[in-house]
Amino acid sequence: MAPLGERLKAVQGTVSVAESCTGGLLGATLTDLPGASEVFEGGFLTYTYDAKERLLSIPRALLEEKGAVSPEVAALMAEAARERFGTTLGLSVTGVAGPDGQEGKPVGLIYVGAAVAGRTEVREHRFGGGRASNRVAAVEAAIDLGVELLGSGGR
């Protein structure tokens, strides 16, 4: 959180999240440090298709066509978090933490997304650890992407 928090404070920005496979770990990590209340607005924990559709307005047809573990869904999750909370930055995580694959996708396949006004970036990662380490790696990747997007002029 420290580099992201510093960057957000520098631009007087805020962050929100939409998570799936991390199960709230991204939000928990962002609120771990003192001063988090200055930059963190809130988050969505959307573990199922129904939750993604209902809370984030992810189209059911997209979920059924691409699956929840896809760059398209990661992008829409980040954008929905940012828009619904009115934050500078929206972060998202969707993937297969393990121990088993899902939707025909392998354990460790994670998509992280970051959205600012007018720009959304998604990164694919293939982590090789177990469930716990894949979740931690996904959180770190999402935070890193947020720092990168804000550092490149995202406000």
Residues pairing with 115 in the sheet = 90, 120
- Rounded to the nearest angstrom, the gap between the alpha carbon of residue 30 and the centroid of all alpha carbons in its chain is 12
Rounded distance, CA 88 to CA 41, Å?
Answer: 10
Q: How big is the CA angle at 55 (ends 52 and 59), to the nearest 5 degrees?
A: 50
Contact 89, 125 (CB under 8 A): no
Closest CA to 80 of 94, 66, 67, 99: 94
Place of tokens 């929905």: 80
3-state secondary structure of 10: helix
Query: Could you say which architecture CATH assigns to the domain 2-151?
Result: Alpha-Beta Complex (3.90)
3-state secondary structure of 87: coil
Return the pLDDT at 51: 98
The segments of the chain whose pLDDT lies below 70 read: 1, 153-155
Return the pLDDT at 60: 97
Closest CA to 124 of 93, 87, 80, 81: 93
Return the pLDDT at 142: 98
Rounded distance, CA 33 to CA 70, Å?
Answer: 30
H/E run at residue 6: helix 2-10
Contact 23, 45 (CB under 8 A): yes
